[in-house]
């Protein structure tokens, strides 16, 4: 029995006149109604809505640790399979054998990095290695070993005492035998683990998720000729049923996940942006207090208005102009900042951490990718607040980044898309974390910072590091460059998201007659969502909403992966049939 030919036509209904001409009204209107109801619900009772969002986040942490962990592991496995399998990897994402990519490799990579997690790296490259140096699963397990040894020797931990300091005192007093292979906070042993976990969160797990969605969309849009929208990636599973309500629901879920995924990224960026403004200007109303400066609600809302106005202008200019040029600018500024740390930072120490961190990450990746701890334990609490938070963030961000990557990757092969889209950003991020985070760690371990970097807020630690490296005048100049870089990353992420939302609403069409008007509407909508969440609880409320919004789309990505594998396997079978 001959294998049926693949589906190469999907008729998604769009309106033919008026404001919604060229748009699928069900997807567009349903998404707007949902966003409007969320904003009204939050603003009608800010305190209660914030508490409910937090409760939903805690429920997902308590019940979905395993689901999120195994989902990301599955995405990695499928993505690597389609990239490395010879007959899959050589497939061109385009119907013209002689077609050329629209963007140069530099612009392409700049847009991948800028739209992906450019904002987050500015914050977390400084902060995350520092935090993991003080606490991570290896340190927690070492603490448990010490407590068990103390218990078996009849030694009680005094109330409020630090476990590791008390253990070292007991060893010095010969009351307790030394224990091998412990990982002590802020020790040499903790350095390898600190960078391993930072690389784990920002490496292949994130980029395999993005690239899996991007490859699915690009394959079905450019190779099969289906619309560039989320439902098309499920064509081998559901066929023509995707033209109706089922397809509409899938695209609505993608729009909602995109909004809350980009809200998380914008929220972190706004917090860092406001911290940078305070570092430069010293304006008191930007932060809650000078001792432990955290951005005020007013500072976050002001920054939000500036960013979204600029993002709307950039999105209206299109991918080939505003988005492309902003991506190129922030990539140049990023390399300048990285060059500064390479020349003036703790370079040798950072390069040593880079090598050791990558080796440790690669060796431990298979085990880390499938490890799930009980959320009621200290290990589980760490996993939910770090790993599960990141997995939800990458999943919520995946429809936006995946569709954007597909949009800019026509006429590249699956292997080129995947290898460059995973390896290049991951290695770039590892260098960032090693140079910037390593310099911060070196300043602390050498005693120069005297705990001030450790004690500062997550979004302010980069500026604290710069403050210790340079005199006040030069620190102000470099901090100003970082603030500009943050702004360009914020605008790039937000304008790319606006274009993606428009594409999803327009049944995969990039250019639509009323597209500019809808970009303006969605700019206002995204601003309203982020602003309402800031009022409901700041970054915590944004994180809670993002984690909840990621749940339905995580299941859609699983279906997309199965759909892609089915399509590629059937294509091989069809090719064999033709040879017989």
Cβ(260)–Cβ(545) under 8 Å?
Answer: yes
pLDDT, tens digit, 9 for 90 and up, residues 35-67: 999 999 999 999 999 899 989 888 888 889 999
What is the C-alpha to C-alpha distance for residues 577 and 580, in angstroms, rounded to an integer? 5
The answer, yes or no, to whether residue 323 has pLDDT greater than 70, is: no
Closest CA to 80 of 419, 317, 360: 419
The answer, yes or no, to whether residue 392 has pLDDT greater than 70, is: yes
User: Residue 277 — very low, low, confident or very high, per pLDDT cuts 50/70/90?
Assistant: confident
Residue the block writes with tokens 């597209």 = 515
The answer, yes or no, to whether residue 288 has pLDDT greater than 90, is: no
User: Residue 231 — very low, low, confident or very high, per pLDDT cuts 50/70/90?
Assistant: very high
Cβ(70)–Cβ(391) under 8 Å?
Answer: no
User: Residue 433 — very low, low, confident or very high, per pLDDT cuts 50/70/90?
Assistant: very high
pLDDT, tens digit, 9 for 90 and up, residues 402-420: 888 888 888 999 998 888 8
**pLDDT at 114 (0 to 100):** 59
The DSSP output letter for 80 is H
User: Residue 116 — very low, low, confident or very high, per pLDDT cuts 50/70/90?
Assistant: low
Percent of the chain with pLDDT over 90: 50
The answer, yes or no, to whether residue 111 has pLDDT greater than 80, is: no
Q: What is the mean pLDDT of the chain?
A: 88
**pLDDT at 280 (0 to 100):** 86
pLDDT, tens digit, 9 for 90 and up, residues 458-485: 878 888 999 999 998 999 999 998 888 8
Helices (H), 227-321: 235-238, 245-281, 297-317
CATH number of 25-136+186-579: 1.20.1740
The answer, yes or no, to whether residue 3 has pLDDT greater than 70, is: yes
**pLDDT at 202 (0 to 100):** 93
The answer, yes or no, to whether residue 322 has pLDDT greater than 60, is: no
User: Residue 118 — very low, low, confident or very high, per pLDDT cuts 50/70/90?
Assistant: low
What is the C-alpha to C-alpha distance for residues 202 and 458, in angstroms, rounded to an integer? 16
Lowest-confidence segment of 17-21, 106-110, 378-382, 384-388 by average pLDDT: 106-110
Helices (H), 282-388: 297-317, 324-344, 347-370, 378-383
Per-domain residue ranges for the chain? Answer: 25-136+186-579, 141-149+162-182
User: Residue 251 — very low, low, confident or very high, per pLDDT cuts 50/70/90?
Assistant: very high
- Which residues are within 8 A (CB) of 77 and not within 5 positions of it... i.e. 6 or more apart? none
Mean of the pLDDT values across residues 119-125?
79
Mean of the pLDDT values across residues 260-277?
85
User: Residue 312 — very low, low, confident or very high, per pLDDT cuts 50/70/90?
Assistant: confident
pTM: 0.91
């Amino acid at each position: 029995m001959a294998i049926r030919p693949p589906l190469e036509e999907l008729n998604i209904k769009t309106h033919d006149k008026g404001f919604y001409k060229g748009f699928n009204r069900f997807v567009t209107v349903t998404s707007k109604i949902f966003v409007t109801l969320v904003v009204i619900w939050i603003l009608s009772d800010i305190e209660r809505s914030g508490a409910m969002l937090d409760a939903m986040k805690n429920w997902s942490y308590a019940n979905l640790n395993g689901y999120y962990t195994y989902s990301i592991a599955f995405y990695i496995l499928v993505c690597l399979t389609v990239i490395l399998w010879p007959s899959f990897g050589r497939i061109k994402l385009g119907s013209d054998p002689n077609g050329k990519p629209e963007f140069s490799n530099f612009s392409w990579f700049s847009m991948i990095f800028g739209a992906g997690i450019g904002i987050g790296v500015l914050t977390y490259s400084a902060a995350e290695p520092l935090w993991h140096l003080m606490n991570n699963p290896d340190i927690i397990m070492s603490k448990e070993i010490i407590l068990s040894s103390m218990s078996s020797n009849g030694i009680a931990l005094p109330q409020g005492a630090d476990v590791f300091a008390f253990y070292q005192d007991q060893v010095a007093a010969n009351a307790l035998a030394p224990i091998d292979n412990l990982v002590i906070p802020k020790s040499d042993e903790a350095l390898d683990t600190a960078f391993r976990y930072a690389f784990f969160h920002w490496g292949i797990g994130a980029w395999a998720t993005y690239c899996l969605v991007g490859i699915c969309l690009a394959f079905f849009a450019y190779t099969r000729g289906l619309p560039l929208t989320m439902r098309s990636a499920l064509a081998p599973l559901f066929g023509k049923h995707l033209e109706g309500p089922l397809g509409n629901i899938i695209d609505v879920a993608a729009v909602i996940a995109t909004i809350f995924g980009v809200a998380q990224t914008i929220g972190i960026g706004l917090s860092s942006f406001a911290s940078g403004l305070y570092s430069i200007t010293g304006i008191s109303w930007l932060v809650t207090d000078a001792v432990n400066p955290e951005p005020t609600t007013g500072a976050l809302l002001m920054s939000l208005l500036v960013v979204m106005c600029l993002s709307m202008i950039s999105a209206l200019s299109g991918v080939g102009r505003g988005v492309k040029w902003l991506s190129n600018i922030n990539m140049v500024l990023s390399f300048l900042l990285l060059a500064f740390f390479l020349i003036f930072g703790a370079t040798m120490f950072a390069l040593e951490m880079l090598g050791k961190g990558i080796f440790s990450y690669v060796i431990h990746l298979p085990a880390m990718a499938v490890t799930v701890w009980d959320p009621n334990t200290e290990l589980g609490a760490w996993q939910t607040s770090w790993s599960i938070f990141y997995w939800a963030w990458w999943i919520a961000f995946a429809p936006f980044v995946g569709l954007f990557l597909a949009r800019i990757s026509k006429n590249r092969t699956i292997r080129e898309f995947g290898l460059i889209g995973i390896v290049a950003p991951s290695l770039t991020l590892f260098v960032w974390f090693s140079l910037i985070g390593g310099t911060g760690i070196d300043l602390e371990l050498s005693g120069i910072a005297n705990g001030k970097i450790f004690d500062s807020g997550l979004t302010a630690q980069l500026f604290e590091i710069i403050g210790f490296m340079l005199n006040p005048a030069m620190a102000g100049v470099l901090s100003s460059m970082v603030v500009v870089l943050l702004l360009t990353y914020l605008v790039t992420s937000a304008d790319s998201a606006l274009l993606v939302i428009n594409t999803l609403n327009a049944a995969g069409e990039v250019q639509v007659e009323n597209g500019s008007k809808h970009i303006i509407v969605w700019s206002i909508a995204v601003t309203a969502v982020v602003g309402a969440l800031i009022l409901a609880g700041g970054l915590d409320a944004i994180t809670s909403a993002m984690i909840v919004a990621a749940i339905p789309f995580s299941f859609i990505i699983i279906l997309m992966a199965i759909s892609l594998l089915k399509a590629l396997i059937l294509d091989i079978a069809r090719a064999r049939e033709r040879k017989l």
